[in-house]
Amino acid sequence: MPRCILKTLEEYFDNLSIPPLSYIGRCTLDVGQVVNSLGQWNSTEQNIIIPRHAAYWSLILVWLDDIRREFTFKPCLRIYAEKVLRRVAEKFNLSAPTYVSVHVRRTDYVDYLWQKLKTRPAPISYYLSAMDYFAGKYSNVVFVVTSDNIAWCKYNLRSKRHRISFVSDNDGKGPGKDLAVLSACNHSIIDYGTYGSFGAILAAGETIVYNVTTYFSTLIADVLPNWRIMS
């Protein structure tokens, strides 16, 4: 992994075993040999090249337990997430809440979805319908909303039917903190993007994902039994 990426990950996660590219600097790498299946490389002790910006979820879904062990948040972030959820429970006077995270991706993705997939962002009705689903299935549900545009969420995601708490910083500069909160929740509502998908994978609960045809988050839902697609 490039040192610049690894350095960022090390700000949030403890004891990562992923080596930087400098460790294999003297090796001859053929960038034309791209991995199609991690299974065929298991226990070979060989280096693996994955294309830039790749999101090959099919390659890692069989290794979810290993991934959750690898990406363990630093104590300060775990404590932060625990405090956030405790404050949310106190806000609604709940002693045994079911935490459902809601990740809303806006900013750069609004244009990206149209340019890349010719589709619009998830409508407000999607998030509210997903909330209805969880509220009808579990008891004492509280929805913990994170976003790169929390102001949009506060204005649009209103419902007298549900307990909703908005926890992201207004400036959107707390990616590590928000991801720790997502992973600490019992279940997840996501729309699209690697960030929300990774948070849901770390949480390991039931996940509702927005229906974006052939997009990787919906492809995950086709594989994992606890992921559901909703329009």
- List per-residue pLDDT tens for the chain, 231 residues long: 788 889 999 999 999 998 887 876 666 666 565 555 556 556 556 666 666 556 667 667 888 999 999 999 999 999 999 999 999 999 999 999 999 999 999 998 899 899 988 899 999 999 999 999 999 999 999 999 999 999 999 999 999 999 999 999 876 678 999 999 999 999 999 999 899 999 999 999 999 999 987 667 888 888 899 999 999
H or E segment and range at residue 135: helix 124-137
The tokens for 179 are 């991801």
Which residues does residue 78 pair with via DSSP β-bridges, in sequence order? none
Q: pTM for the full model?
A: 0.89
Which residue ranges make up each domain of the chain?
A: 3-54, 69-229
CATH (one of 3.90.1010.10, 3.40.50.2000, 3.40.190.10, 3.40.50.720) for 69-229:
3.40.50.2000
b/e burial code for range 131-145 (CB count within 10 A of at least 16 → b) = bebbbeebeebbbbb
Residue for token digits 């948040």?
A: 73
Task: State residue 79's pLDDT score.
Answer: 98
The answer to whether 185 and 202 are in contact (CB under 8 A) is no
